[in-house]
Amino acid sequence: MSGSSDPTPERHRVVVVGGGFGGLYAVRKLRHAPVDITLVDRRNFHLFQPLVYQVATGALSPGEVAAPLRGIFKRNENVSVVLGEVTGFDLARRRVIVDRSVTESGLGELPYDSLIVAGGSRYSYFGRDEWKPFAPDIKSVESALEVRRRVLIAFEAAENERSPERRDAWLTFLVVGAGPTGVELAGQIAEIARDTLRRDFRTIDPRGARILLVEMDDRMLPQFPPRLSARAANALEQLGVMPMPGHKVVDIEDDFVTLADPSGREERVPAHTVVWAAGVVASELAGRLASEADVGVDRTGRVPVGPDLTLAGHPEVFAIGDMAQVHDSEGEPVPLPGVAPVAIQEGRYAAHVIRERLRGKESRPFHYRDKGNLATIGRSKAVADIKGLQLSGFLAWVIWLTVHLFYLVGFQNRLLVVLRWGFSFATRGRGARLITTGTGGTVGTTPDEPDHPRGPPRERLGSGRN
């Protein structure tokens, strides 16, 4: 049943921080419970992170992989959405501190009886944050649009370049990190060069582009069984991608990347377009929550939680998703992959615990049900590891499509994505190949990144916001 739109003292107040997978599924599980829920996020939409790389490569538009939070919960009167950035916690007073300056409301406090923090993660540049302007990630809509702009600008610049050396540098694309995101991104860039753009230019042949996929591990997709990693590497090579396992990035500048091979020998690769997809650390919220609870964080910045996903000494506070390190009843860390299914299951579990407590019941410790790993490489090419069943090729690709459509939020988005994918499969085209500007500034500039000279003069063609 749905509660009243006006919270009352008798009703249990739940604050959920973060509208990603963990927070979204926690609210979904709680929305018919006798509680009042406040969902806080600095963005007004839920972003379907597994498909953001397709925004970066022009296969999809931002609005097709995102859904407004207010729209998702518009029929649930006991769910309120607050647009703002959480800046701190007061666990003693059970308050969440929120900066609502985006709506010119200033700082505010949200009281809670139960708190679920799902702050997510961000990419780690391994202490070399100065590389970020040269090698953007694809963690947000803005950064994905910036990657799309850089990829398309590179072909445009190569078309007008007279020097063969400089043209080759523009046609060299380097992806750092060969996990699922890096592999999927490299495969998409290869398909753009090989299929989508092959007749669009008069001076260059886009099929001559070099796509380098750099990975510190000794194989692609190290999270997968070696057999599937080998098949993925072979499929990438067929697309024109050059896998470079055992290599690490030593330096990145505006027009080159320095790599070290397994023997330590360094090579300077001229390249203007670099995308970062290697390593993640917990969001800053994990550190703030840990500091307030007087506990430490692990080497990736995650806050420790117990078997029921709560903070030590604060059973009313749950931390879930990529920002939390789960420990078992013996205090030993539980290894969990940083993937969406973990956050989804933890969000549902935290909501279940709250509901059971309201009934005066205890809950069992959290247990992750591993449903397998999926990664797509390109058209009709994917790998799947599902409970020991190892698949590759067309069947794995169909499973990948089905699973992602199932978890995509909103019927309209599912329909639009199916139509987009069907059009792309039939024509090898991409309907979102627009070179757009950033938000309120020079092309490609995001609110937390300074503009950096990258490529030819940037023209303001349109808005990069959805």
The one-digit pLDDT tens for each residue of the chain (466 residues) are: 444 445 445 799 999 999 999 999 999 999 999 999 999 999 999 999 999 999 999 999 999 999 999 999 999 999 999 999 999 999 999 999 999 877 777 789 999 999 999 999 999 999 999 999 999 999 999 999 999 999 999 999 999 999 999 999 999 999 999 999 999 999 999 999 999 998 999 999 999 999 999 999 999 999 999 999 999 999 999 999 999 999 999 999 999 999 999 999 999 999 999 999 998 999 999 999 999 999 999 999 999 999 999 999 999 999 999 999 999 999 999 999 989 999 999 999 999 999 999 999 999 999 999 989 999 999 999 999 998 899 999 999 999 999 999 999 999 999 999 999 998 888 888 878 888 864 333 333 333 333 333 444 333 333 333 3
- Look-up: residue for tokens 């078997």? 307
Q: How many angstroms separate the CA atoms of 285 and 300, rounded? A: 13
Q: How many CB atoms lie within 10 A of CB 452?
A: 13
Angle at 461 between CA 458 and CA 466, to 5 degrees: 115
Assess contact for 249 and 197: CB atoms under 8 A.
Answer: no
CATH topology for 129-278 is FAD/NAD(P)-binding domain (3.50.50)
CATH superfamily of 12-42+84-123+281-358: FAD/NAD(P)-binding domain (3.50.50.60)
Q: Is 372 helix (H, G, I), strand (E, B) or coil?
A: coil
Does the predicted TM-score (pTM) go above 0.85?
yes
* Domain range annotation of the chain: 12-42+84-123+281-358, 129-278
Catalytic machinery residues: 184
Residue 287's identity, in one-letter code, is G
CA distances from residue 256 to 128, 166, 210, 267 in whole angstroms, order as listed? 16, 11, 14, 10
CA-nearest of 121, 142, 148, 125 to 59 is: 148
**For residue 458, how many other CB atoms are within 10 A of its CB?**
18
Residues 377, 187 contacting (CB under 8 angstroms): yes
Closest CA to 392 of 181, 279, 229, 266: 229
Same fold, 12-42+84-123+281-358 and 129-278: yes
